[in-house]
Chains A and B, each alone.
Chain A
Amino acid sequence: MTAWLVRRCAAAIAIVFAVVTLTFLLIHLAPGTPFVPSDERVLDPAVVDGLRRQFGLDRPLGVQYVRYVVALLHGDPGYSFSLRRPIGEVLATTVPNTLLLSGAALAIDFLLGAAIGLYQAARARHRADVVLGNATLFLYSVPTFWLGLVLVLVFGQHLAWFPVGGDRNPVLYPSLSLLGRLGDRAWHLALPALTLGLVGAGGTARFQRAALLEVAGQDFIRTARAKGLHERRIWLVHTLRNALLPLITLFGLALPFLLTGAVLIETVFSWPGMGKLAADAIFTRDYPVVTAAALLASVMVVLGSLVADVLYSVADPRIRLGKGGARA
C-alpha cells in the first residue's frame, strides 16, 4: 500500500508540474497584452510597455519561466497584474468563497439526487418514476447559466425573495452579530447553490437510480427476499450499501471541479470566487493568476482522484490497491 501511495504521489507531482508548465506556455503565447483596463479604454502604448518592462515581461520566455518556477518553489506566486495585490492574498479570499458555493451545491446535489434516485428506484416503472425521470432529465439538460439567469430574474428581481448577487450585504454586514452574519451569508448563498445543486441533482438521481436497480436485480437480494426479510430492511441495509460505490465514484469525480466548475454561475450571480477569477484572468491576460489557478485546480484533481481511490479500496474489499489488484 505504501509503495503504491509513494508512486501515486510522485506521479501527482509530475502531473501538476506538467499542467503548470503547459498553462504558462499557452497563456504567454496568447495574443494580447496584460494591464489593459476593464473599461476598454485604449491606453497610451508607452504606459503599457513601461508596465510590461516593470513586471519582467520583456525578458525571453525561458527566463521568465525559470524565474517563475523558482519563485513558486519559494512559495511566492507573484502579484496579480489586474488586481495589483499579492496572489496569495487574492486566493485567500476567493478560494473559500468558491469552496463554500461548490460545497453547498454538492451537498444539495447529493442529498437531493440520492433521495430522488432512491425514491425512483423503489417505485420503478410506476407513474412517479416516470414523472421524476422526466424532471431529472430536464434538469440534467438545461444550461446552468440560463437557469441561473431565469432564477435571478424571477426570485431575485420580481419576487425579491433572494438578493440578486454578491455573497453578503455590504451595507449591513459589518454591523451584524455572528448569527446575523451567518444568516446573511446563507441568504446570499441560497440561489446560486440551488441553481448548481439542482442541475447536479438531476444527474446524480439518474445515476443513483440506475445503480440501485442494478443491485436490486442481483441474486443476493432475491435470496434475502426469499428468506422473508422485510422489504424496507432489504432496501436500506443491503441494496443501499452496495450502491454506495457509484456515489463515491461521483464524489471523487466532482471533487476537483469544486474549484473551477462554477465559472458561469459565479458570473451570473457576481459571486467572488475562483472560477470567475480564473476566467477574468484569462480574459485580461493576468498571467500569474492563470498559472496559480491551474496549479490549484490540478492539485485538487490529483488529490481528489487519490482520495477517491483510497475510499474505493476501503468501501469495496474486492479491490486491493497496488500489485495484484485491479488497476483503476
Chain B
Amino acid sequence: MTPRHWAVLLALLAAAAIGALGLRAGTAGSDAARRFFRHPTAAFAVGVLLFFVLIAVCAPLVAPYDPSAQLEIVQLQNRPPSWMHPLGTDLYSRDLLSRLVFGARVSLAVGTLAMLVAVSLGAVVGLLAGYFRRWMDGVLMRLVDVGLAVPRIFLLLIAVSLWSQLPLAILVLTIGLTGWFATSRLVRAEVLSRRELAYVDAARALGAPPARVILRHVLPNAVAPLIVSAALGIGSVMLLEASLSFLGIGVAPPTPSWGNMIADGKEQIATAPWTTLSPGLAIVLVVMALNAVGDALRDALDPRREAT
C-alpha cells in the first residue's frame, strides 16, 4: 500500500469527522437536530456512517489493488496483515483491504436499496389499508399476517431457491419484498390514529380527493416512524445479507460483499482469522452506527417523547 493510499484514507477519515461535527454545528438552529445530537453517540455514529459511505464512493482511490485480482496464488495465500497488505490476504491471495472497500459499495447499496423497497411497499400498503379501511384493509392485513406467519429467513431461502443463480437485483428485490410487513402495520396504526382528526375530516368534507388528503395531511405525520424504521432497516438487511452468504446464497463471486467475505473466510477461521475479522467488524460498526442514529432520530422526530 503506497503512501498515496494512506493519504487518501486519512483524508477521508478527516472529511467524515469534519462532516459530522459540521453537521452538528450547522443544524444547531433546529430543535429536532438539537435533540438528535444530544445523544452521546449520535455525532460519532454519523461520522462512522459518513466515513464508510465516503470510502464506498471513493473506492477506486482507496483500494491499492483490484479486489478480484489473485496476486500470487501460492505465495500470497492467507497472509496475515502486513505493511503491503494492511488487512492481510485471503484464500485466493486477494488483498483484503481492497475487497473491504469495494465490498462496502455492495453491502451498503444492497442494504439501502432493499430497505427502500421494503419501506416504500410497507408505507403504500399501510396507507391504503389505514385510509380506505373496509375490505381493502381486511385483505391487505390478512396478506400481512400470512407474510408474518413465515419466518423471514425461511421465506428468503425458498424465494431464492427459485433462481439457480441469483442476480443481484433479484436478491435486493427479494429481501425487500420479504421485509415490508412490519412497516405496513406501523404505518397503518399511524394513519388510523390521524384520520379521525379534525383537520383531516375537514379536508374530506371540503371534497378533497383521497390522494390529496393522504399526501398533504396524513403522510407527513406518519413519516417520522418511517424514517426511524428505515435507518434500522438498513442495518438488519446488512445482517441478513451476511447470514444468507454464510448459508451459501448471496452476492455472486468475484464481486466482494462483506457477507460473502465472511463466508469465504469461515473455513479458515482457525488458521487465518483476519479473513473474517475485518468484514465482521465492519458490519458490526456500521450496524451499530445505524442503530444509534435510529435511536437518536426517534427522539429527534417525536417531540412528545421524553428525552431518554
A–B interface present (Cβ within 8 A) = yes
Q: Which residues of A contact B (CB under 8 A)?
A: 11, 14-16, 18-19, 22-23, 26-27, 29-32, 124, 130, 133-134, 137-138, 140-146, 149-150, 153, 157, 206, 209-210, 213-214, 217, 256-257, 259-261, 263-264, 267, 278-279, 282-283, 285, 290, 293-294, 297-298, 301-302, 327
Q: Which of B158, B242, B248, B288 contacts A143 (CB 8 A)?
A: B242
Q: Which B residues are CB-close (under 8 A) to A217?
A: 306
Specify the main secondary structure of chain A where it touches its partner.
Answer: helix
Q: Does any Cβ of A come within 8 Å of B26's Cβ?
A: no
Interface size class of B (residues with CB under 8 A): 35 or more
Indicate if the CB atoms of A26 and B151 lie closer than 8 Å: no
Indicate if the CB atoms of B149 and A297 lie closer than 8 Å: yes
Q: Which B residues are CB-close (under 8 A) to A206?
A: 295
Q: Does any Cβ of A come within 8 Å of B33's Cβ?
A: no
Q: Does any Cβ of A come within 8 Å of B280's Cβ?
A: yes
Cα A143 to Cα B180 in complex, Å, equals 21
Indicate if the CB atoms of A214 and B308 lie closer than 8 Å: yes
Q: Does any Cβ of A come within 8 Å of B31's Cβ?
A: no
- Which B140-184 residues have a C-beta within 8 angstroms of A? 142, 145-146, 148-151, 153-154, 157-159, 161-164
Indicate if the CB atoms of B292 and A137 lie closer than 8 Å: yes
Q: Which A residues are CB-close (under 8 A) to B242?
A: 143, 145-146
Q: Which B residues are CB-close (under 8 A) to A327?
A: 192
Stretch at the interface among B73-81, B95-103, B262-270: B262-270
Cα A294 to Cα B147 in complex, Å, equals 12
Q: Which residues of B contact A (CB under 8 A)?
A: 40-41, 142, 145-146, 148-151, 153-154, 157-159, 161-164, 192, 235, 239, 242-243, 246-248, 262, 266, 269-270, 273, 276, 280, 283-284, 287-288, 291-292, 295, 305-306, 308
Contact A141:B150 (CB < 8 A) given known A30-B162, A130-B40, A149-B276: no
Contact A143:B306 (CB < 8 A) given known A153-B270, A260-B151: no
Contact A124:B308 (CB < 8 A) given known A153-B269, A260-B153: yes
CB proximity of A154 to chain B, nearest CB, Å:
10
Indicate if the CB atoms of B149 and A290 lie closer than 8 Å: no
Q: Which B residues are CB-close (under 8 A) to A124?
A: 308
CB-nearest residue of chain A relative to B137? A327
Q: Which A residues are CB-close (under 8 A) to B284?
A: 138, 141-143
CB proximity of B179 to chain A, nearest CB, Å:
15
Cα A260 to Cα B157 in complex, Å, equals 12
Cα A144 to Cα B142 in complex, Å, equals 31
Q: Which of B158, B162, B247, B273 contacts A23 (CB 8 A)?
A: B158
Contacts A143-B243, A213-B308, A267-B247 known; 11 new A-B pairs at CB < 8 A: A15-B146, A15-B149, A141-B291, A142-B280, A146-B276, A209-B308, A214-B306, A263-B247, A264-B247, A294-B150, A297-B149
Q: Which B residues are CB-close (under 8 A) to A27?
A: 158, 161
Q: Which B residues are CB-close (under 8 A) to A137?
A: 41, 288, 291-292
CB-nearest residue of chain A relative to B295? A206
Cα A260 to Cα B246 in complex, Å, equals 16
Contact A19:B150 (CB < 8 A) given known A141-B235, A141-B288, A149-B266: yes
Indicate if the CB atoms of A16 and B149 lie closer than 8 Å: yes
Indicate if the CB atoms of B151 and A30 lie closer than 8 Å: no
Q: Which B residues are CB-close (under 8 A) to A16?
A: 149
Cα A22 to Cα B273 in complex, Å, equals 41
Indicate if the CB atoms of B161 and A282 lie closer than 8 Å: yes
